[in-house]
Amino acid sequence: MWSFSKISKLIDSWLSVHFSSTWTMVIEMVIAGIAVITLFALLGLVLVLMERRVAAWIQIRLGPNRVGPGGMLQSLADTLKLLVKEGMTPDGADKFLFNLAPFIAMIVAMLLMAPIAFASDFQLWNLNIGVLYVTAISSLMVISILMAGWASNNKYSLMGAMRSGAQIVSYELSAGLSIMSIVVLSGSLNLNEIILSQADGWWIFKGHIPVVIAFIIFIIAVTAETNRAPFDLAEAESELTAGFHTEYSGMKFALFFLAEYINVFIVCAIGATLFLGGWMPLHIGHWQAFNHVMDFIPSSIWFFGKTFFLIFLIMWFRWTFPRLRIDQLLDLEWKYLLPISIFNILLITLMAILGWHF
């Protein structure tokens, strides 16, 4: 059966026959880069369409239905429109930083792709501190937003960027603590080993209620970290027009837009990896027959299925809840999520020491 790991091995063996080892390395890196960029473009198109469709159905509307069969080409048409638009730079802006910011956003999103395991044995970089890498890089997201807000020389932009800074810095704590709970349970920072530790059941099932609480906190915190409603204070259309990307137009705006959706995908992929077993099929303890049946579904389908389920969850939140005020937002983090997650991680540590999980 074809799988991603088999294809990658075939390409690798073909290249190593025809080229020297250095050139094999270089060509493989180029292929990986092109694959990541293609994935970005595809994800942007699919997620924007999915978001609009989910929003429409939740609001009892039809959603995009004019371009292509059932509106399936809507996001492609939008991309084409954005590509031919003029990318303006305002007069008062800090030109260098203004033009740099969207690329920083994209580069951060790209770097986050590296340690994610898309299928069994299919990973760009099997890093032994994958979890640490992800939490470290994802906090760089705020730099691009602050840069965009500052360089725009616009009050709305600056206000949005400052809010976003406060928000991301505070919500990183509870996101980090809930990620740590899985590290405590699995005893590894390597994303691949964390997935392998879930071969006899996903952590959300094996870890009882404390892990479910950690999962809920994780989902809330990453929704805030990716600046999506109900925590979209950085954009807050009704208050700040568009927040940090008010002054952006054309493809530079599209890069921010794309980076937002890529970040949503990445945090959902991390969530799926940590709590729902990544590419690991649904295994229940020692039910050998059941586990074998589940193994027939390819691992990439498991990974993308779980990730898209989490993405749907985040979209569902977006179209259900009203936006929080900034004081309510910080209240929620510092008075509720943080104490609960600190208590929770103590509980999980106790659980891991005493072996109270399956």
Partner 1 sequence: MFILKYIKEVFSGLQSLAVGLRRTLYYFSHHKEIITQQYPDNRDTLVFPDRFKGEVVMVHDDNNEHACTGCTACELACPNATIKIITKFDITPEGKKKKAIDKFVYHLELCTMCNLCVVACPTDAIKMAQTFEHSVFNRAELTKVLNKPDSKIREGVE
- Choose the binding region for partner 1 from 130-138, 157-165, 317-325, 341-349 (rule: CB under 8 A): 317-325
CA distance 36 to 351: 38
Question: 218 and 210 in contact (C-beta within 8 Å)?
Answer: no
Spell out the residues 6+ positions from residue 168 whose beta carbon is closer than 8 angstroms to its own.
139, 141, 142, 145, 224, 225, 227
- Nearer residue to partner 1 within complex by CB, 61 or 292: 61
Q: From the CB of 145, what's the least distance to partner 1, in Å?
A: 27
Binding mask 64-103 for partner 1 (x = CB under 8 A): ----------------------------------------
Contact between 330 and partner 1 per CB under 8 A: no
Among 287, 336, 343, 358, binds partner 1 (CB under 8 A): 336
- Nearer residue to partner 1 within complex by CB, 108 or 310: 310
Q: From the CB of 58, what's the least distance to partner 1, in Å?
A: 5
- Nearer residue to partner 1 within complex by CB, 106 or 224: 224
Contact between 343 and partner 1 per CB under 8 A: no
CA distance 259 to 143: 13
Among 6, 9, 18, 61, binds partner 1 (CB under 8 A): 61
DSSP 123: E
CA proximity to 233, closest of 319, 167, 277: 167
What's the length of the chain? 358
Question: What CA–CA distances, in Å, run from 143 to 54, 107, 176, 234, 351?
Answer: 30, 12, 18, 13, 37
Among 14, 287, 321, 358, binds partner 1 (CB under 8 A): 321
Q: From the CB of 51, what's the least distance to partner 1, in Å?
A: 13
- Count residues contacting partner 1 (CB under 8 A)? 15
Binding to partner 1 (CB under 8 A) within 262-301 occurs at none
| Sole residue written with tokens 């969850």 | 313
Q: From the CB of 313, what's the least distance to partner 1, in Å?
A: 9
User: How does 260-282 read in b/e, with b if 16+ C-beta sit within 10 Å?
Assistant: bbbbbbbbbbbbbbbbbbbbbbb
- Choose the binding region for partner 1 from 6-14, 55-63, 117-125, 301-309 (rule: CB under 8 A): 55-63
Question: What CA–CA distances, in Å, run from 199 to 5, 169, 208, 214?
Answer: 19, 34, 16, 20
- Nearer residue to partner 1 within complex by CB, 14 or 321: 321
Binding site for partner 1 (CB under 8 A): 54, 56-62, 316-317, 319-321, 336, 340
